[in-house]
Chain A
Amino acid sequence: MKFQPDKTVVCLLALLMLGHTAAGWAHAFPEHAEPGAGAWLAAPPHEVLIRFDHMLETSFSSLRVEDAQGHRVDKGRAQAGSDDPHLMKVSLPRLKPGIYQVIWTAVSLDGHRTQGDYLFTIR
């Protein structure tokens, strides 16, 4: 059995297509966040929202915001996927200047779980 580059390329492309067709599944990674990781803000944000690259399972995904002392400061109950299944957001009261931490857990439709956190600063 000889090594045949053309057939190897076809096999590799088939593998990639197999991976691409299953794009509805898999782990959810953040695509965009407002405010973003490490942001320095002149004015306090009204909400935190994170867009993921996969649709979320609303019941098990969560998002909260804490101040530098670890106290939760958001208005509670994050909305995950209510109008956009890729989006999770939570409303904020008027925050004082300081450092805040966003902590999220995302469960994609197939049950895979990812988690993360980041800081932003209000000047």
Chain B
Amino acid sequence: MNRTIYTPAAGRAFICALISSIVLLCTPAAWSHGFAGKRFFPTTLVVEDPFVADEFSVLYRHIKEPGEEVSGPSVRNDSLDVEYSKTLSRQWGVSIAGQFLNLHTNGGNKDDGYSNVEVGTKYQLYTSAAHEALLSVGINAEIGDSGNASIGVESYSVYSPAVFFGKGFGDLWDNHPLLKPLAITGVIATNFPSKTRSNTEEGPVRNPITVSYGLTLQYNMQYLQSFVRDYGLGAPFNHLIPVVEFDMSTCTDRGCKGDTTATANPGLLWFGKSFQLGLGAQIPLNHRTGDDIGILALVHLFIDDLFPHSLGAPLFGR
């Protein structure tokens, strides 16, 4: 089997090529990100958004996770996730994502490298301004063996069809207006491995089908201030969005049926004119997910606002 070798020069070349491609993509027109009517849906920390947009995200994550073996050492995991999303039309977008991982085991071993590259596409099927609602479908593919073997990337690909949704509560609960700034978003995806079995250093292993599901609950202070009740909040509080995200995955077959990992991720998001920041905690909800609390930090650029007439515009349609 041919294995792609990633060197520092190759990494820099990839980043340069990516940036060059971004700069060279020039088409007219601009479109918006994350809106359903007056509701602005921010980019969340760990649960994928339901909307199609031109955006660029960098997420730093620090967490100590349990090892793969029950009695094995835990692993301290520092990662930098980068994702670029591009609209092809107003409803249809594509994305590419990569991750640099730095792993430290309690036994003293250190490894770092790139995880497998992920590509995806998403179509926004339904948007209701009146009901502040979004529904999208998409598929993501983690390309097997595209990362570094040193961090134990999978040799097989994983295909993940998914359904995404978002709903603001602005059209509900007229008797309780302070609940109107609430919104939820969510995703459910099934992850199909391209091979049912693969060989590792420890021998052959079965690759299960898993189901991933996530839910976010968010409270938009800008919505409160502008559309419900003006409390005179100034910057930066008028653009804050407290959020809690639940991120879960359950194995469905091949020896691990029912095994679930789950985290709760409370955080604070703040959105500005052309970028968004986020800071959160990653709290394990069961023993499979570990005992330690992790840290999440997000920098997110609204490419459609930064380059409305070129890179931030859909390739087709206005």
Q: Is the CB of A12 within 8 A of B306?
A: no
Q: Which of B7, B58, B177, B308 has the most CB of A within 10 A?
A: B308
Contacts of B181-213 to chain A: CB distance below 8 A? none
Contact with B along A11-34 (1 / 0, CB 8 A): 110011011101101110111010
- Asked whether, in the complex, the Cβ of A25 is within 8 Å of the Cβ of B308, the reply is yes
Q: Are A3 and B80 touching (Cβ within 8 A)?
A: yes
Partner of A1, one of B11, B228, B301, B307: B11
Please measure, in the bound complex, the distance between the C-alpha atom of A37 and the C-alpha atom of B56, giving whole angstroms. Answer: 33
Determine whether the beta carbon of A19 is less than 8 Å from that of B273: yes
B38 touches A115 (CB 8 A): yes
When the two chains form their complex, are residues A38 and B177 in contact, meaning their CB atoms are under 8 A apart? yes
Q: Answer whether residue A45 sits at the interface, using C-beta atoms and an 8 A cutoff.
A: no
Interface residues of B in 33-69 (CB under 8 A from A): 35, 37-38, 40, 56, 58, 60
- Chief secondary structure at chain B's binding surface: mixed
Partner of B274, one of A3, A22, A39, A115: A22
Contacts of A23 in B (CB 8 A): 273-274
Q: Count contacts on A: residues with CB < 8 A to the other chain.
A: 35
Interface-side segment among A57-65, A83-91, A106-114: A106-114
Total A-B residue pairs with C-beta atoms closer than 8 Å? 109
Query: Considering only CB atoms, which chain A residue lies closest to B129 in the complex?
Result: A115
* Nearest residue, chain B, Cβ from A26: B305
Asked if B228 and A37 make an inter-chain contact with CB atoms under 8 angstroms apart, the answer reads yes
By a CB distance below 8 angstroms, the chain A residues around B306 are 18-19, 22, 25-26
14 residue pairs of the A-B complex, CB under 8 angstroms, read A1-B6, A1-B8, A15-B301, A20-B274, A22-B307, A25-B305, A26-B305, A36-B229, A110-B308, A111-B308, A112-B32, A112-B308, A116-B226, A118-B228
Given contacts A25-B274, A26-B274, 13 further A-B contacts (CB under 8 A): A1-B11, A12-B299, A15-B56, A15-B275, A18-B306, A22-B274, A22-B305, A25-B308, A29-B222, A37-B228, A110-B308, A111-B308, A116-B227
| Residues in chain B within 8 A of chain A (CB atoms) | 6-8, 11-12, 29-30, 32, 35, 37-38, 40, 56, 58, 60, 78, 80, 100, 102, 112, 129, 177, 222, 225-230, 232, 238-239, 272-275, 299, 301-302, 304-309
